[in-house]
Amino acid sequence: MTTATAIFPNPLRWALGLWRDQKHRGTIIQIMALVALLLFIGIIIRNTAINLQALGLEIGYDFLTEPANYDINQHLIDYNSLSSHLRATAVGVINTALVSVCGIILATVIGLFAGILRLSKNWLVNRIMYAYVEFGRNVPVLLQILLFHALIIHTLPHPRASLSPMDGVFLSNRGFYVPQPVLEPAAWAILAALVIAAALAWWFAGHAKRVQENTGRHYPVFTINAALIIGLPLLAFFLAGRPIGLDFPQLKGFNYQGGMVLRPEFTALWFALSFYAGAYIAELVRAGILAINRGQTEAAYSLGLKPNWTMRLVILPQAMRVMVPPLISQYLGLIKDSSLAIVIGYMDIVATIGGISLNQTGRALECMSITLFIYLSISLGVSTVMNWYNRRVSLVER
Amino acid sequence: MSAQEKSMSVSDEMMIEMNGVHKWYGQFHVLKNINLTVKRGERIVICGPSGSGKSTLIRCINRLEEHQQGEIIVEGTELTGNLKHIEQIRREVGMVFQHFNLFPHLTVMENCTLAPIWVRHMPKQEAEEVAMNYLRQVQIPEQAEKFPGQLSGGQQQRAAIARSLCMRPKVMLFDEPTSALDPEMIKEVLDIMIELARDGMTMICVTHEMGFAKTVANRVIFMDDGEIIEQNEPEEFFANPKNERTQLFLSQILQH
Amino acid sequence: MKTVQQQYEVGRHPDLPPPLVERGVVKWVRDNFFSDATSIVLTAVALYFLYKVVPPFVEWAFVDAVWNADHRNECRARGEGACWAVLRARIAQFTYGYYPAHLYWRVNTAFVLLFVALAPLLFEHVPGRRYLLWFSLAYPVLAFFLLWGGLGLEPVESAKFGGFLLTIVIGVTGIVGSLPLGILLALGRRSRLLIVHTISMVFIEFVRGVPLITLLFIASTLLNYFLPPGTYFDLLLRVLIMVTLFASAYLAEVIRGGLAGIPKGQFEAADSLGLGYWKSMRLIILPQALHISIPNIVNTFISLYKDTTLVVIVGLADPLGISRATLADSKWQGLSTEIYIAIAVFFFVSCFAMSRYSLYLEKKLHTGH
């Protein structure tokens, strides 16, 4: 009996033995997970193949070079309805990038202001900012986009009766018309001046640091550099004979000619995204500053540091560590939220390749895979930057 | 320190004068009619039950707290809302906190040189030399390039003392400097403070370390309920407390 | 400021009220509005802003508003104010969508029972909590039959669902469905088994890396390709699947945060008791991790709830879908501002209430109970 089991071990017991062994159990689970995953992918591929065959479709990306046959009203690169789907996608990517970058800048400005004012001891200002933050965070961003769009479309007048808060700026329900800068050849002088000013400012900052380390003398680096960077290009502008002109919009018929137009869709999306993300950023800023223990301020004060230096040397460097990672997530969220552009007809990635191109060609699989790929690349890029930053600034602890 | 040694360093020059100081937190009356004078070289220990206003009292001296009535004069300058005066006084008055409050994003060395560089306009090299001197005095020169998070509690508190000393203050305020420390680290901090006292530093200490009070203090002050109840030389204070509340308090803390 | 001091015996100084300028309205006004030059400027700017914004809005929304009218032109004839009459006319659709009117009672019952099911989960001191928890567990099944019919109840198609009913159905299904999946993904991502870890991580990062709208497009255009030939899921079901997957990735990260917050000693203690992986997770680790994650789970729910508005883009009749239909009606054309404001108020009130609740939970956690 015993010899028999030794030669032909009970397979069940043998399996149970493997299962009870911690190391082998891990391996078994892994293999099972892998098989399940492969099976799942296999079934999906098979289903898709059968379904596509039934519909007489084939997977292929050739359609990208065919004419798109639709118009896009806002394009920063050449585009017309005869351009390819690929070009339409590029226009979509650029439009997403444009509204995201503008949105991130405006949201940061709004968030910083609102966050700092939220910490103000002034009761009235504090309450107003509180109301803003709570409204911004508790109303769906899609609704905010629609609201801003409705406000622009329904409360602003027709182009003929448009509001003009300052010379050359016209607000109407067809868009915001602003003067467009026109560069003349001599404009390179201004660019050169800017580069020189930046280089000088960089050198001066280094010089000031050396002087301070050697003699203890402090220069007002920020003021001098700001003057340098603004002043030098301004000087060049006048010396070169004002090579930048402005093209003012003018009412011709039912609409404006010339100038630059911010279309209602762009403006609504831009404002709504900034307004929404700004509310979250305001809370980040507030939380970041509050996260710094009161003792830090007291310690700095008791050493004789002035309030503004305490802010710059002690509070901000610490608050930045707390604030930057969630801030970057917020930016990523804003980029993803810009995909809601489609509800008001702003032509971003989703509206071009994921929307009209998809509907016109019926190539859902291809179009969605391209859309997903673009967003995933953006997300991956942003999180790489964030990990790098986190590694760089993480506090050394015992 | 002997009694003679203790009184030797005290001069007649007035460092801190508090006359009829009152303070309220909202409706709560925390400091009631405080009258206190501290001469140059004097070392004062303040004790009392928690919530008696002792921390608030010393925090008023460098205006971390604002008083509402009475006058506080530090080195001949009266503390009012005048920011210039506040900054001037804060430069001359060092403070050590219960929870150290070191700047966690800066190394110990940078913690020490920050204020000398930005407030005293000292060249960096000189500031570092000064800092190294004091770090040697508090016996942690080898920790200079580490971050506060890497040090033990006792080392952090010593670094915090060195940071204050780097400003070469005329008075040092200690706000329960040992109460957040593990028992074995209390001594290393107290030793540094005793040494400072020997060097003639004017000190005001809020602490429950009665041994320390006996060793270095010229005067021990007992506070309760926002008032100075009793002040006396340590021998007399511990041997014959006059007020019954002082007696009660001493019996409670000396039991252990 | 020197006043004659009343002298008191040592140790007998009474508590006095602060000086007049340091208390009461005077102090409050000075501290809050005029403490320094910046504050004075801010007060002025804020007052100007309020003056410019509040009176016109109140005039538009309340004073000149029309509450009762049969169509837009009737509103406009009566003044320039808001035309809230549109909401009155369409309130049923905004609430129930196209759900048959004689069956509203079923929706109402399900809605009321939702709170009965939630009560034992949200508050610890509910009478009969142990029995109610069983009810909470059974609630999803109950709600399914109440809403969709079956078991003798008249069946209702998904396509009839709409309005806030749809918002709540998607939100609640999303969070309930994503909880088990989220827990598995969180455990998977923390697992030391390479393949399990990788699968979980790739899934989580993929879902979090793309906008929800692209996932909804997948639901509306692609999902049927992936299903076995001959099967067909209706749009709502496909959207529910995608929303659940979407929420589970976010929830997984929340729960992972909760797991990370558990002291190492707890894992060691569980191991030293000889509990296996699943038992120690189920009995010791997960209850604690979920408990400390509840505020963040509520926050995830709030954002999911707000995100349900996106389903309008794939053609479902949520409140925004109903507003599209309403605005397309020639009787109510051009009233988008009124409708959007009303929906915004609805979301604001419900989300604000939920975020207060999550704050309350967080406070309770910090005090240790």
The tens-digit pLDDT sequence of chain A (398 residues) is 445 455 556 777 777 777 777 677 778 888 888 999 999 999 989 988 888 888 877 788 888 888 888 888 888 888 888 889 999 999 999 999 999 999 999 999 999 999 999 988 888 999 999 999 999 999 999 999 999 999 888 888 887 777 887 777 888 888 888 888 887 777 788 888 899 999 999 999 999 888 888 888 888 888 888 998 888 888 888 888 777 777 788 777 777 777 778 888 999 999 999 999 999 999 999 999 888 888 999 999 999 998 888 988 999 889 888 888 899 999 999 999 999 999 998 999 999 998 899 888 888 889 999 999 999 999 999 988 888 888 887 765 54
Smallest CA–CA separation between C129 and chain A, in Å?
Answer: 31
CATH no. for residue A281? 1.10.3720.10
Structural domain count of chain C: 2
- Residue A344 maps to a domain: yes
Structural domain count of chain A: 2
Mean of pLDDT over chain C: 87
Q: How far is residue C91 from each of residues A188, C102, C164, C322, measured CA to CA in Å? A: 62, 16, 10, 10
Does B115 contact A303 at a Cβ distance shorter than 8 Å? Answer: yes
Structure-block tokens of residue B77: 């300058």
Place of tokens 């949201």: A107
In chain B, the percentage of residues whose pLDDT exceeds 70 is 98
Those of residues 190-229 in C touching chain B at CB distance below 8 A are: none
- Do C170 and C281 belong to one domain? yes
Those of residues 17-76 in C touching chain B at CB distance below 8 A are: 17-19, 22-23
Chains that touch B (3 or more CB pairs under 8 A): A, C
- Do A111 and A46 belong to one domain? no
- Do A265 and A334 belong to one domain? yes
pLDDT computed for residue C121 by the predictor: 81
- Residue C245 maps to a domain: yes
- Whole-model pTM over 0.95: no
- Do A151 and A15 belong to one domain? no
- Residue A158 maps to a domain: yes
- Residue C149 maps to a domain: no
Q: Looking at beta carbons, which residues of chain C come within 8 Å of B69?
A: 1, 3, 19
- Do C26 and C95 belong to one domain? no
Residue B32 at interface with chain A, using a CB cutoff of 8 Å: no
Angstrom distance (rounded) from CA A27 to CA A200: 62
The tens digit of pLDDT for each residue in A81-95 reads: 888 999 999 999 999
- Residue C105 maps to a domain: no
The tens digit of pLDDT for each residue in C128-166 reads: 888 888 888 899 999 999 999 888 888 898 889 999 999
- Do A254 and A327 belong to one domain? yes
Q: Looking at beta carbons, which residues of chain C come within 8 Å of A33?
A: 193, 195-196, 199
- Do A272 and A378 belong to one domain? yes
- Residue A215 maps to a domain: no
Q: Looking at beta carbons, which residues of chain B come within 8 Å of A221?
A: none
- Residue A341 maps to a domain: yes
**In 3D, which of A153, A160, A154 has the Cα closest to residue A175?**
A153
Among chain B residues, CA nearest to C20: B68
Domain membership of residue A149 as a residue range: 85-179+248-393
pLDDT computed for residue A7 by the predictor: 55
Band of residue B256 on the pLDDT scale cut at 50, 70, 90: low
Answer with the residue of higher pLDDT: B7 or C47: C47
Domain membership of residue C207 as a residue range: 85-99+156-368
- Do C31 and C90 belong to one domain? no
pLDDT computed for residue C2 by the predictor: 45
- Residue A387 maps to a domain: yes
- Do A117 and A40 belong to one domain? no
The tens digit of pLDDT for each residue in A158-201 reads: 877 778 877 778 888 888 888 888 877 777 888 888 999 999 99
- Do A31 and A157 belong to one domain? no
pLDDT computed for residue C221 by the predictor: 85
Does A305 contact B101 at a Cβ distance shorter than 8 Å? Answer: no
- Do C170 and C58 belong to one domain? no
Residue A358 at interface with chain C, using a CB cutoff of 8 Å: yes
- Residue C80 maps to a domain: no
Residue A398 at interface with chain B, using a CB cutoff of 8 Å: yes
Mutate to test the interface with A, among C38, C194, C195 (most CBs of A within 10 A): C195
- Residue C130 maps to a domain: no
pLDDT computed for residue B133 by the predictor: 94
pLDDT computed for residue C310 by the predictor: 94
Helix, strand or coil, per DSSP, at residue A55? helix
Phi-psi region of B9 (alpha: psi -120 to 50; beta: other; left: phi over 0): alpha
Structure-block tokens of residue A28: 């078994």
Decide: B250 and B232 in contact? Cβ < 8 Å: no
Place of tokens 């030669």: A7
Band of residue C1 on the pLDDT scale cut at 50, 70, 90: very low
Answer with the residue of higher pLDDT: A143 or C38: A143
pLDDT computed for residue C23 by the predictor: 67
Those of residues 368-397 in A touching chain B at CB distance below 8 A are: 395-397
- Do C169 and C307 belong to one domain? yes
- Do C39 and C89 belong to one domain? no
- Residue C294 maps to a domain: yes
- Do A162 and A24 belong to one domain? no
- Residue C118 maps to a domain: no
CATH no. for residue C310? 1.10.3720.10
Q: Looking at beta carbons, which residues of chain C come within 8 Å of A376?
A: 206, 209-210
pLDDT computed for residue C5 by the predictor: 55
Q: Is the pLDDT of residue B203 over 80?
A: yes
pLDDT computed for residue A395 by the predictor: 63
Sequence-ordered list of residues with C-beta below 8 angstroms from that of C5, at least 6 positions apart, any chain: B20, B33
- Do A37 and A169 belong to one domain? no
Decide: B220 and B213 in contact? Cβ < 8 Å: yes
